[in-house]
Amino acid sequence: MPNEPFEHPPPLLNATLELARALNQFQVRYALIGGLAAGYRTHPRFTRDLDFLLNVPQLVLPQLLEDLKRRGFEFDTQDTIREWTQHHMVVLSFHGIRVDWLKSLIPAYVHVLDHATEETWLDQPIRIASAEGLILLKLLAFRPQDQVDIENLIAAQRDSLDLDWIRAEWQTVMSLDDPRMLRLLEWVGAPP
């Protein structure tokens, strides 16, 4: 069961909600991912930044960025457009809060967007990656905090976790005998 709002520095929540409002207004496909999303799907955990997976149409990007500046986000518009088109990642700032955008380029990322759900958080709609989508993204990164988040997501969602979806998406980028997938199967108690 998703958590209700939890204690985070107000700028972090403000950045999340302002960005979600803008993305919803411009009808951008997105999902909150990263530590805040993992905390929403499990139990609150401290995080200092925001991570969003999104697909912004090139024609919408300049208007969206202009709107975000009015909302208090800080970035150089030309550099941001260049980074987004060339490197498919950008970093914005909102009152000292780092906001990372990752473009949904590979099919697995697109499917994480498709699988995200719209939630209501602080009376506002926001799309948040599913537990399965978060596990997939965190398996790909597999840093120590990602591993902790995966274990927490498994514990919180054990009865409803769609392991077949994770396996199918994993196979689009890696083999099922990859050590990260084998570790996940060990954590959930499933046969390899």
Domain ranges of the chain: 10-188
Question: Looking at the predicted structure, is the pLDDT value of residue 44 above 60?
Answer: yes
**10-188: which CATH architecture?**
2-Layer Sandwich (3.30)
Let me know if 83 is exposed, middle or buried by CB neighbors in 10 A (0-12, 13-18, 19+).
middle
**pTM of the model as a whole:** 0.92
> What is residue 7's predicted lDDT score, i.e. its pLDDT?
53
Q: What H or E segment, with its residue span, contains residue 180?
A: helix 179-188
Question: Looking at the predicted structure, is the pLDDT value of residue 8 above 90?
Answer: no
Tens digit of pLDDT for each residue in 147-176? Answer: 999 999 999 998 899 999 999 999 999 999
Contact 108, 116 (CB under 8 A): no
Question: Looking at the predicted structure, is the pLDDT value of residue 1 above 60?
Answer: no
Tens digit of pLDDT for each residue in 83-110? Answer: 999 999 999 999 999 999 999 999 999 9
